[in-house]
A = this chain, B = another copy of it.
Amino acid sequence: MPGEDAVLLTAEDYRRAARERVGADVWDFVEGGGGAEHTLAANRRAFEEVTFRPRVLVDVSACDTGTTLFGQALRSPIGIAPTAYHRLVHPEGEVATAVGAGTAGALYVVSMFASRTLTDIAAAANSPLWMQLYWFTHRDMVADVVTRAASVGCTALVLTVDAPRIGKRLRDLRNGFAVDPAVRAENLDEDLLAAVHEQHAGRSAIATSAELTFDQTITWADLPWLRSLTGLPLLLKGVLTAEDARRAVDHGVDGIVVSNHGGRQLDGVPASLVALVEVVGAVGGAMPVLVDGGVRTGTDVFAALALGASAVLIGRPALWALAAGGAAGVGDLLGTLAGELEHTMALAGRPTVADIDSSAVSHRW
């Protein structure tokens, strides 16, 4: 069980360690959510409303957290969610994240707003990389990123669909938060970014960036264009309802990431774990459903798997670990979480990921 010998025993420990290393406005950017942050809180609360139904007298001498997604073996069903600008919290940025993920044999979904080049990230990676995409008005920029992602070996695309605009993040607005000009979206067009990175007095540069770049017109009818660029599996990230899950099935999408963007977009949407149950029910096994938002422990991972997730992604915890310990921190945290999951599997009497079905939990919502 990694981490047990260290001071950093839990993800929350990494959070405290990170807080000491990161400036106040970056901390708010990482930690904050949209509006009154109700959804941010709901993400955590939902996990506390799950209870486990452990089985006893099961042989748990060899619990195995391994799983497979789109034919790729993963050492655990715990991956890293796409988050922007890792160099805000650590000088090596996404390269260190990729190294840490590789140490743990974990999936890493690279953000389109990564602050290291795809080439550098892929060179450092030693485990599956997926590429996250926003749909820009400059559609050729999307095509360019997709092409480069495929060329460096990314094995799936994750299109974010809950952000036609950036959410009202009041912390950033009050801080007038702007990304440090030295931290750039290295995989996007230079000229556009020059405009984006200008400081707008009293405004959030993140929001400004989104306004300048995100295409608010795209609909389901535009997906074929994206699919035409590559044969990689395409997942939609940000689906929260059965209606949209069924549309995703109908449109031949390859997977869904149930997500409320870590509570950073529309405040008041359901906890991602609650939405997961609805989406899984609607998808009916037609494709893998992943989830992010509020996962902080291996017991949380177990809960999500029992409620139908094929895997979970961690966002903020990966940044905490990166800030606290660089690549080693990321690897250690992923190991800690996998260890907690394995421990939960043992005590719940479910020695394999396939054993973690809906009989393993009940929930109170």
CB nearest neighbor in B for A238: B56
A240-254 interface bits toward B, Cβ cutoff 8 Å, 1 = contact, 0 = none: 110110010000000
Residues in chain B near residue A265, CB distance under 8 A: 347
How far is B149's CA from A92's CA once the two chains are assembled, in angstroms?
Answer: 62
Point out the residue from B51, B168, B173, B222 that lies within 8 Å of A340, measured CB to CB.
B168
Known A53-B241, A57-B218, A297-B35; judge A203-B347 contact (CB<8 A). no
Residues 167-210 (chain A) with a chain B CB within 8 angstroms? 167-168, 170, 173-174, 201-204, 207
How far is B38's CA from A13's CA once the two chains are assembled, in angstroms?
Answer: 18
Known A9-B170, A174-B9, A216-B61; judge A51-B267 contact (CB<8 A). no
Assess whether A51 is in contact with B347, with CB atoms less than 8 Å apart: no
Assess whether B58 is in contact with A219, with CB atoms less than 8 Å apart: yes
- A17 in the interface (beta carbon within 8 A): no
For the complex, would chain A's binding face be called helix, strand, loop or mixed by DSSP majority?
loop
How far is B241's CA from A218's CA once the two chains are assembled, in angstroms?
Answer: 43
- A268 in the interface (beta carbon within 8 A): yes
**12 other A-B residue contacts (CB within 8 Å) besides A36-B297, A54-B269, A165-B346:** A50-B268, A52-B268, A55-B244, A56-B238, A56-B240, A57-B236, A58-B219, A61-B164, A243-B359, A266-B299, A267-B299, A270-B362
Chain A residues with a Cβ under 8 A of chain B: 4-6, 9-10, 35-36, 38, 48, 50-61, 161-165, 167-168, 170, 173-174, 201-204, 207, 216-220, 222-223, 236, 238-241, 243-244, 247, 265-270, 297, 299, 303, 340, 343-344, 346-348, 359, 362
8 contacts between A and B (CB under 8 A): A10-B170, A53-B269, A53-B270, A54-B162, A54-B240, A167-B347, A265-B347, A266-B348
